[in-house]
Amino acid sequence: MLQRIAVLGCGRIGVMHAANVAAHSGARLAGVYDVNLDAASACGARYGVPVFQSSDAVFAADDVDAVLIATSTSTHSDLIEAAVRAGKPILCEKPIDLDLKRVELCKRRIGASDVPIMLGFVRRFDPGHRAAREAMLAGEIGDLHQVIITSRDPGMASSAYIEVSGGIFRDMTIHDFDLARYLLGEEVVAVSASGSRLVDPPLMERCNDYDTIAAVLSTASGKQAIITNSRQAAYGYDQRVELLGNKGMLISENRRNNHVTKHVRDATNVSAPLLNFFIERYSEAFNVEISAFVNSIEAKKPVEVGFEDGRLALVLAEAAVKSVTEHRVVAVKEIG
């Protein structure tokens, strides 16, 4: 039986998810919803599926088995709570909320419910990052010592976006915090972060934000994760992961559109640009994510990345903000 999944939110990411669900061999697109009905109608028409008039209508629909929440961040918690009440398994884009208090309220409200809630930390599903982790778990580099994550956007987002983003740690680094937790295999106990304003200093000043950061995470056993972010990599969306163990190293490199190299006077090995942004770079991963969601529902297995993972990534973001502000290492238990 195909899982009938409705997509809430028909913005850039929602439309991508709708396309992936529609094309997925184990799922069917059960319909779409957006507060902007025009956006919803366009998306629904494209895939020949119903357009719901409200999120309540989605949750009430008998022919919707599960929901994918890709609406704006501020609505995530409400929608998660509603979906849980309706008993519909949830795949929700990150973050749960920008405010840790709201996340914790959501946590209390959903309580002991066994409705599956999966968080869309898509990088966990990247075939490269995943293959590196599997090789590590298989012992190919011995005991893990350091995780090094390089994550750079191709260019500064619009100021409108930055203003409501919650800041780089909650908006951008949060992916890397989750990926670090996934790869470390142990909980992070301490966070040290540094932030600079180099790409667009006036905007960063105005928003009290940073565009260039480094964060060092430590686990109780001393494993480290070193994360660097920049809002601007002129050469493309740069996404690399390096794992150092006592017997070797694994690197998950960037992907490209093709593997053509050009060799001319003064420049050899010239390769194709990096895939420009997350929809292209993680296109495989977004599909694997849908598969993982469908599989966990069907096999009644726990989701691979759940509500608590969403909460903990936000806790690390809070710790990073505190570390930058107070110029010191912040213990994760100080946050929550």
- 223-242 residues in contact with its own copies (CB under 8 A) are 223-224, 226, 228, 230, 232-236, 238
- Is residue 263 part of the contact set for its own copies (CB under 8 A)? yes
- Is residue 28 part of the contact set for its own copies (CB under 8 A)? no
Determine the size of the site formed for its own copies (CB under 8 A): 73
**Interaction pattern, residues 122-141, with its own copies; x per rule: CB under 8 A:** -----xx--xx--x----xx
- Cα separation, 5 vs 165, in Å, equals 28
- Is residue 291 part of the contact set for its own copies (CB under 8 A)? no
CB of 279 to its own copies, least distance (A): 17
Is the CB of 12 or the CB of 247 nearer to its own copies? 247
CB of 8 to its own copies, least distance (A): 24
Is the CB of 76 or the CB of 152 nearer to its own copies? 152
Give residues with Cβ within 8 angstroms of 231, minimum separation 6: 152, 153, 155, 156, 157, 168, 172, 199, 200, 211, 212
Is the CB of 87 or the CB of 142 nearer to its own copies? 142
Is the CB of 192 or the CB of 296 nearer to its own copies? 192
Among 272, 288, 291, 306, binds its own copies (CB under 8 A): 272
Structure tokens at 45: 């028409």
Among 160, 202, 268, 300, binds its own copies (CB under 8 A): 268
CB of 150 to its own copies, least distance (A): 8
Q: Which stretch binds its own copies (CB under 8 A): 51-59, 114-122, 158-166, 269-277?
A: 269-277
Is the CB of 71 or the CB of 323 nearer to its own copies? 323
Q: Which helix (H) or strand (E) holds 143?
A: none
* Residue at 106: amino acid letter: C
Between the alpha carbon of residue 202 and those of residues 7, 166, 198, 318, the distances in Å are 37, 17, 9, 23
| Cβ burial 103-136 (10 Å sphere, 16+ → b, else e) | bbebbeebeeeeebbbbbbbbbbbebbbebbebb
- Cα separation, 68 vs 43, in Å, equals 14
**Do residues 296 and 303 make contact, with C-beta atoms less than 8 angstroms apart?**
yes
The alpha carbon torsion through 129, 95, 32, 14 (nearest 10 deg) reads: -50
Q: Which stretch binds its own copies (CB under 8 A): 63-71, 101-109, 219-227, 297-305?
A: 219-227
CB of 100 to its own copies, least distance (A): 23
Q: Which of residues 151-210 bind its own copies (CB under 8 A)?
A: 152, 190, 192, 194, 196-199
CB of 2 to its own copies, least distance (A): 12
| Cβ burial 246-263 (10 Å sphere, 16+ → b, else e) | eeeebebebbeeeeeeee
CB of 240 to its own copies, least distance (A): 9
SS3 of 56-72: the string is: HHHHHCCCCCEEEECCC
